[in-house]
A = this chain, B = another copy of it.
Amino acid sequence: MILDKVNYPKDLKNLSISELNCLADEIRDLIIKKVNVMGGHMAPNLGFIEATIAMHYVFDAPKDKMIFDVSHQCYTHKILTGRKNGFLNPEDYLKYTGYTAPEESEYDLFKVGHTSTSVSLATGVAKVRDLENGRENVIAILGDGSLSGGEALEGLNNAAAFKSNFIVILNDNDMSIAENQGGMYDNLRVLRETDGKAENNLFKTFGFDYCFLKDGNNIEKLIETFKNVKDINHPIVVHICTQKGHGLEVAEKNKEFFHFVMPRALEKKDDTNAVPQENYTSLIKEYLYNRAKTDNKFVIINAATPGVFGFTPDFRKELGEQYTDVGIAEEHAIAFSSAVAKCGAKPVFTVMSSFVQRTYDQLSQDLCLNKSPITMLVYWGGISDADSTHLCVFDIPLISNIPNMVYLAPTCKEELIGMLNWSISQTDHPVAIRVPSGDIKVTDIEDKTNYAMLNKYSLENKGEKVAIIGLGNFLELAQKTAELINKNLGFMPTIINPKYITGIDTVMLEKLKENHKIVITLEDGVLNGGFGEKISRYLGNSDIKVLNYGAEKEFTDRVPIEDLYKRYRLTPEQICEDITKLIND
């Protein structure tokens, strides 16, 4: 194997083109094999193998600085920069994260997992190089899908104003996670069709020099192209056309499905007899579909991640104008949704907890200040074993401290539907709903709550001495803890399902004072700025003691969820222990 001889970029420099091609094939096999076992970003990485080899052949990292965007294309870079064991050896598969990570290698400058950041970050690198009168190349790698994000466009505008070396490698595979969205992608298409010679050129209008390579999976041509721009003395965009999923036939054919795959995606499953299991995602999808079919002013909106919500190509086609994918543009998505609601239609915006972070000011100004009655569904909120770039524990502090917002936490199918029904029918509040995680819970009892009576908590069990407020996903933990307390301490605590993240049920809390000494709050998110602290504040002037449970303020990185629960004392045993201690104090 050629790869046996290649550990670092320097080992590439003396290889022939045919050896480099061979190396690309070897790397392709490794990536396919590992991603099929572990899951991961399959298609984007397969398309960028040749370009990465050529980049490291021509440029001199780590002296020359390569800044990857969102890192979906960085597997080959990792293999070529001292980390091939993470792909060769199944026992090392978990050793490295799927994103660039400075703690792993000096070849990675930044920890990156949200899109559209590379150009902005690279401007800072170039700035310092210029202050130091350095000569190294600064290379930002930008996927075409990332191009539509506000930060990327702000970055391009500023990068183009440099009077020194600045290279943007635009990896254009003609799609985002799903298809690309928006007017500028027509320009990319025209550029592809004219070999980069079209009269109007997006990058030139931003002020960049520009060059084009059609064969973005051809190492020889890539090397030639990169050599031409190496050490250039001004900003240039190198537009290369690559094939998403290149070299893996099923991925080439189904680029969207293979963007990110779960383990064993390549292995044929005989599931003809399997009954599809209902889950919260499928439930919501069906609900939204049915609403859209009975109301032609019902609009479903997402920002470039339809797969997360089960919005398949068929579903999208079927909904036609009532489905809008704004591309990677969460800021725009909120303003758009707000205006749709303001004009009397019914927008539902679906978004992952980690990516709702990209739109705080729009939530505040465009949405909540204008009190537009949108429904925002926040997915995946909660403590998880995710990479540090994709944590989903910050949405409660982010969303719930904005005035006028109503943020709801359902605990079962029926509550989720009850909240959706209310949110979509009302016209007074911007509403966010935190989609529960885990297996679906079904009570088979219709939820007839009038959610317009804001901040009315639900009393699940009237007990004594201790009241446990279990928010959303953690109502179950509240129930289990109550049972353990009953068993160990001989009394049954009160259990409360607050349902509302954004407000306090002062009537219920006042009533608790009558026969409770301790209130505990459980939330599946970071404690700082979260739900429990509001309860602590409200009860601060009373004799009741309050214990808040939730995640600490930290970026965790692929820590097993059970470890995190233990670390945060989020187990019935630990909570019971704390309560026993407090009672005996």
Contact = CB atoms under 8 A, between A and B. Distances in A.
Interface of A is mostly: helix
A13 interface: no
A204 interface: yes
A296 interface: yes
The oligomer's copy count stands at 2
A453 interface: no
Interface residues of A, number: 116
A342 interface: yes
A568 interface: no
Interface in A105-131: 109-114, 117, 120-125, 127-131
Nearest to A542: B545
Contact of A110 (B344, B366, B529): B366
A184 interface: yes
A447 B74 CA distance: 47
Q: Which of A329, A361, A389, A548 has the most CB of B within 10 A?
A: A361
A369 B111 contact: yes
A553 to B, nearest CB: 5
A74 to B, nearest CB: 16
B117 A157 contact: no
A181 interface: yes
A507 interface: no
Given A124-B343, A160-B183, A361-B358, A331 B582 contact: no
Interface stretch (A32-40, A143-151, A277-285): A143-151
A406 to B, nearest CB: 12
Interface string A373-408: 000000000000000110000100110111110000
List the 8 shortest-distance A-B pairs measured between CB atoms, nearest first.
A150-B150, A124-B339, A183-B207, A160-B183, A120-B335, A529-B529, A157-B182, A540-B546
Given A157-B327, A200-B200, 13 more contacts: A110-B366, A112-B365, A124-B339, A125-B342, A131-B297, A150-B331, A151-B331, A157-B183, A184-B206, A200-B204, A540-B545, A541-B582, A542-B545
Interface of A: 102, 109-114, 117, 120-125, 127-132, 148-151, 153-161, 181-184, 186-187, 199-202, 204-208, 235, 296-297, 299, 321-322, 324, 326-327, 329, 331-332, 335-345, 347, 357-362, 364-366, 368-370, 388-389, 394, 397-398, 400-404, 526-530, 532-534, 536-537, 539-542, 545-548, 553-555, 582
23 contacts: A110-B370, A112-B365, A117-B365, A123-B336, A127-B345, A132-B297, A148-B157, A151-B335, A154-B332, A156-B183, A157-B181, A160-B182, A161-B183, A202-B206, A369-B388, A397-B397, A532-B537, A533-B534, A533-B537, A537-B546, A540-B540, A541-B545, A541-B546
